[in-house]
């Protein structure tokens, strides 16, 4: 039976925040007798991830995603609870554990700016005890997968943002880790670079059976890579399950986009459903699924429709509604 690659049982992370009053008096008091309040960044977060899973980790800014990743990689010690990754306790930072994991944070640089990426990769190889033959084979394989062969000899500062992110990804995976913690790996990249990184991660997961925990504000990353998602809100885990089930549960409506022959007043249109947008002759409605057929038929009968399209609402809209509700 395979062991759980990632296991977090009731983990809590509490950190002190200094309290400072305004003005000179507050500054002096803060300097000589500092006061603190405790903030719970993560509260009783429990989940298990099996070998080979690719799991999305979603939440608004400040929800506790990065703090959780730091506990799982051993960068910070949980205040209470237990964390196990690949059979090890992360904060002990044992060498066998570090050989099996990697943490990639969007636009956090590990490559040396003025040197060719290949030189930084050689340093990484030395740190992880990778032989020259393994180094050549792995660099060639990963560079082919990332379409980066012609770029590794250039100074990092001369690479585009997308090329630098690919090179950072190569450096993070050179020791062939089995557990990948990815914190906004496509942050700031253009659409083509995002697609390239997603395809690479999908291929790496399939080829090596690697386990991936991915945070991203780009919902296309999540829908392309993850069947399961974890939702964290104000430090608490509010959902752990399949993405499609979440969308079905929190998307009891369809999006109806209509182009009319002429512009119509919003007052006339609001009777057919929730009017999401109205621009000139184009309108978008949110219509409950159980009323979709009836509503569309009524619109076609009553209004001068030129074109009509029915789709599911964007995933980010559904997730946003979940976070607004604050619980699942």
Range of the domain at 60: 6-247
Name the percent of the chain lying above pLDDT 70: 95
In this structure, are residues 284 and 257 in contact, taking their beta carbons and an 8 Å threshold?
A: yes
Beta strands in the chain, from DSSP E residues, in sequence order: 6-19, 35-49, 54-58, 80-85, 101-105, 179-183, 211-215, 228-233, 236-242, 253-260, 274-279, 282-288, 305-311
Domain match, 145 and 262 both: no
Q: Work out the pLDDT band at 328, boundaries 50, 70, 90.
A: low
Q: Is pLDDT above 90 for 5? A: no
pLDDT, residue 1, reads 32
Residue holding tokens 């977090």?
8
Cα angle, residue 247 at apex, residues 297 and 240 outer, rounded to 5°: 165
How many separate domains does the chain show?
2
Residue range 6-22: mean pLDDT, rounded:
73
- Domain harbouring 262, CATH code: 3.30.70
Residue 328 lies in a domain: no
pLDDT, position 12: 63
What pLDDT digit, counting tens, does each position of 45-84 carry?
A: 899 999 999 999 998 888 889 889 999 999 988 888 889 9
Task: Assess whether 82 and 204 both reside in one domain.
Answer: yes
Contact 226, 214 (CB under 8 A): yes
Report CA-CA distances (Å) from 244 to 150, 215, 250, 315, 319: 40, 18, 10, 10, 12
> What share of the chain has pLDDT > 90, as a percent?
55
Looking at per-residue pLDDT, the higher value among 314 and 296 belongs to 296
Distance of CA 28 to the CA centre of its chain: 42
Task: Kindly report, residue by residue over 132-174, the tens digit of the pLDDT.
Answer: 999 999 999 999 999 999 999 999 999 998 899 999 999 999 9
Instruction: Give the pLDDT confidence score for residue 312 in this predicted structure.
Output: 79
pLDDT at 27: 86
pLDDT tens for 73-129 read: 999 888 888 899 999 999 999 999 999 999 998 767 889 999 999 999 999 999 999
| One domain for residues 264 and 194 | no
If you ran DSSP here, which 8-state letter would residue 174 be given? T
Determine phi and psi for 129, rounding to 5 degrees: 65, 35
User: How many whole angstroms separate alpha carbon 60 and alpha carbon 325?
Assistant: 13
pLDDT at residue 231 tops 50 = yes
- Is the model's pLDDT at 3 over the cut of 60? no
pTM: 0.80
Q: Which residues pair with 181 in a beta bridge?
A: 103, 213
How much is the pLDDT for 11? Answer: 62
Cβ atoms of residues 184 and 217 within 8 Å? yes
Mean pLDDT of 37-45: 80
User: Nearest CA to 80 among 93, 70, 71, 69?
Assistant: 71
Rounded distance, CA 270 to CA 276, Å?
Answer: 10
Q: Which residues pair with 242 in a beta bridge?
A: 228
Q: Residues 161, 214: one domain?
A: yes
Residues 49, 66: one domain?
Answer: yes
Mean pLDDT over residues 282-310, rounded?
91
- Mean residue pLDDT across the chain: 88
- State the Cα–Cα distance between residues 93 and 75, nearest whole angstrom: 8
In a domain, 178, yes or no: yes
Which of 202, 220, 247 corresponds to the end of one domain? Answer: 247
Record the tokens describing residue 49, joined without a space. 């991830």
In a shared domain, residues 176 and 300:
no
| CATH number of the structural domain spanning residue 217 | 3.40.50.300
User: Strand pairing partners for 231?
Assistant: 58, 239
């Amino acid at each position: 039976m395979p062991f759980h690659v990632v296991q977090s049982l009731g983990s809590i992370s509490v950190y002190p925040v200094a309290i400072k009053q305004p003005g000179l008096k507050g500054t002096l008091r803060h300097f000589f007798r500092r006061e603190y309040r405790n903030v719970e960044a993560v509260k009783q977060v429990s989940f298990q991830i099996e070998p080979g899973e690719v799991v999305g980790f979603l939440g608004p800014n400040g929800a506790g995603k990065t703090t959780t990743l730091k506990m799982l990689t051993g960068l910070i010690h949980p205040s209470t609870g237990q964390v196990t990754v690949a059979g090890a306790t992360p904060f002990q930072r044992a060498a066998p554990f570090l050989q099996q994991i990697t943490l990639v944070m969007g636009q956090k640089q590990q490559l040396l700016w003025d040197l060719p990426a290949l030189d930084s990769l050689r340093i990484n190889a030395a740190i992880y005890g990778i032989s020259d033959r393994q180094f050549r084979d792995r660099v060639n394989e990963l560079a082919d997968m990332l379409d980066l062969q012609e770029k590794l000899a250039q100074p990092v500062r001369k690479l585009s943002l997308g090329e630098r992110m690919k090179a950072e990804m190569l450096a993070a995976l050179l020791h062939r880790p089995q557990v990948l913690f990815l914190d906004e790996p496509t942050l700031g990249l253009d659409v083509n670079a995002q697609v390239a990184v997603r395809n690479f991660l999908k291929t790496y997961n399939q080829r090596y059976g690697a386990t991936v925990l991915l945070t991203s504000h780009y919902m296309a990353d999540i829908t392309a890579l993850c069947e399961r998602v974890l939702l964290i809100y104000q430090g608490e885990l509010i959902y752990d399950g399949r993405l499609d089930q979440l969308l079905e549960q929190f998307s009891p409506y369809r999006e109806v986009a209509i182009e009319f022959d002429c512009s119509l007043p919003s007052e006339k249109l609001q009777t057919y459903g929730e009017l999401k947008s109205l621009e000139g002759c184009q309108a978008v409605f949110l219509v409950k699924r159980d009323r979709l057929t009836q509503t569309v038929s009524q619109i076609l009968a009553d209004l001068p429709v030129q074109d009509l399209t029915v789709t599911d609402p964007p995933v980010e809209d559904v997730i946003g509604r979940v976070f607004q509700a604050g619980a699942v």
